Amino acid sequence: MIKVERATKPAILKKNEEKWTTDIVNASDEHTKKKAIAKYNKGTIKKALVSMFHGKCAYCESYISDVDYGDIEHFRPKSKFPELAVTWDNLLLACKRCNGAEQKGDTWYDNNEGGPLVNPCTDEPDDFFEFEYDEETHIAIVKPKNKRGEISEEVYGLNKDELLRSRNHYIRTLVVLSQLYNSDEEAKTLLDIAIESKSEYAAFARMIKRKYT
């Protein structure tokens, strides 16, 4: 997970966010409320989020666009905070694994429960996680630094088995590139690209560059 700067609010939300929120709050029945909440699911909003997160999951940093459409994710779940369902600052882009019922889903922790969860748009992930690579086991693991980090790692599934398989191979390759960083121009270029916000698993790539070059 890396820090992501919140992009400018899409025009459709600049125009409608306040009204749509009012419609949700003032809904007279569940059917009307669900219909009002569903207005967040607009193509232009999704497009803005895909651009803001470079097609990556806000949590695990896996590329989504190559294999799936991804989800418009409500950081504060819309089931618990319906009044924030169309609020731009509450919307992220997430893969179906991190956002699914077996991981974050509708999970939420308040301050008195060790929360809130780490938000890549408002928090600095490096304050909550260490991104480590074990040279013996070749495992790239997210290690929590504190309680909020611990809860967030578990809820998002930042070390789930399927993610580790993909991430371990890629990070191992970056370690090899880092060893050639000062002697091979192509290796230098590839690692420098890997640390950019648009690149998959950039948090680990940045750690690799700091540690090995």
pLDDT tens, per residue, the chain with 213 residues:
999 999 999 999 999 999 999 999 999 999 999 999 999 999 999 999 999 999 999 999 999 977 687 899 999 999 999 999 999 999 999 999 999 888 999 999 999 999 999 999 999 999 999 999 999 999 999 999 999 999 999 999 999 998 999 899 999 999 999 999 999 999 999 999 999 999 999 999 999 999 999
As a whole number of angstroms, the distance between CA 56 and CA 51 comes to 9
As a whole number of angstroms, the distance between CA 9 and CA 17 comes to 10
Beta-carbon contacts of 7 under 8 Å, excluding residues fewer than 6 positions away, are: 48, 51, 52
SS (H, E, C) 145-190: CCHHHHHHHHHHCCCCHHHHHHHHHHHHHHHHHHHCCCCCHHHHHH
Burial class of residue 182 in the structure, from the number of CB atoms within 10 Å of its CB (0-12 exposed, 13-18 middle, 19+ buried): exposed
The position carrying tokens 């999704």 is 46
As a whole number of angstroms, the distance between CA 38 and CA 22 comes to 14
The position carrying tokens 């480590």 is 132
The pLDDT score that the predictor gives to residue 69 is 79
CB 7 within 8 A of CB 124: no
Phi, psi of 118 (to 5 degrees): -75, 125
The pLDDT score that the predictor gives to residue 65 is 78
| pTM passes above 0.85 | yes
Question: How large is the angle between the packed helices 202-212 and 161-179, nearest 10 degrees?
Answer: 30
